[in-house]
A = this chain, B = another copy of it.
Amino acid sequence: MNPMDSLQTLEPGVDPSCCVPSGTPALSTEEAQRKALVFKALADPNRLRLLSIVRAAETGESCVCDLTEPLDLGQPTVSHHLKILVEAGLLHREKRGTWAYYSIIPGALEDVAAIIFGL
């Protein structure tokens, strides 16, 4: 479960799906599983709202305390959702002092769109 490993390694040059022969479908089992991870992260309403809030923030980043209230969720739950978004390669976590600031990784949303069109 290596963080920062989902979107980054999605389309390496050695991707065997570029010219799939036959027998196996266009998408291999492992590829499908890896790509599904990103959509799993997006498949929760509260996580979509988290991304929306973080993205709409003026500074481009938000700390957990700013995210707990508008979602009407407990702090552990919000922290859990943020972790999932980080592991999916969508959010970046930076701890400054007591607070943890989350921001959208540049290009992450474009990468997700690329997955969709690359099906």
> Which residue from B44, B55, B56 sits with its C-beta under 8 Å from A36?
B44
**Using a Cβ–Cβ cut-off of 8 Å, how many residues does chain A contribute to the interface with B?**
32
CB distance from A51 to the nearest CB of B (A): 5
Q: Counting CB contacts under 8 A, is A21 at the interface? A: no
* A113/B117 in contact, CB under 8 A: yes
Is A24 interfacial (CB 8 A cutoff)?
A: yes
Residues on B with C-beta less than 8 A from A32 are 45-46, 48-49, 52
- Secondary structure of the A contact surface, majority rule: helix
Q: Does A4 contact B (CB under 8 A)?
A: no
Chain B hits for A119, CB < 8 A: 48, 51-52, 55, 109
Across-interface contacts of A42 in B (CB, < 8 A): 36, 39, 42-43, 116
Report yes or no: B52 in contact with A26, Cβ–Cβ below 8 A.
Answer: yes
Residues on B with beta carbons closer than 8 Å to the beta carbon of A70: 24-25
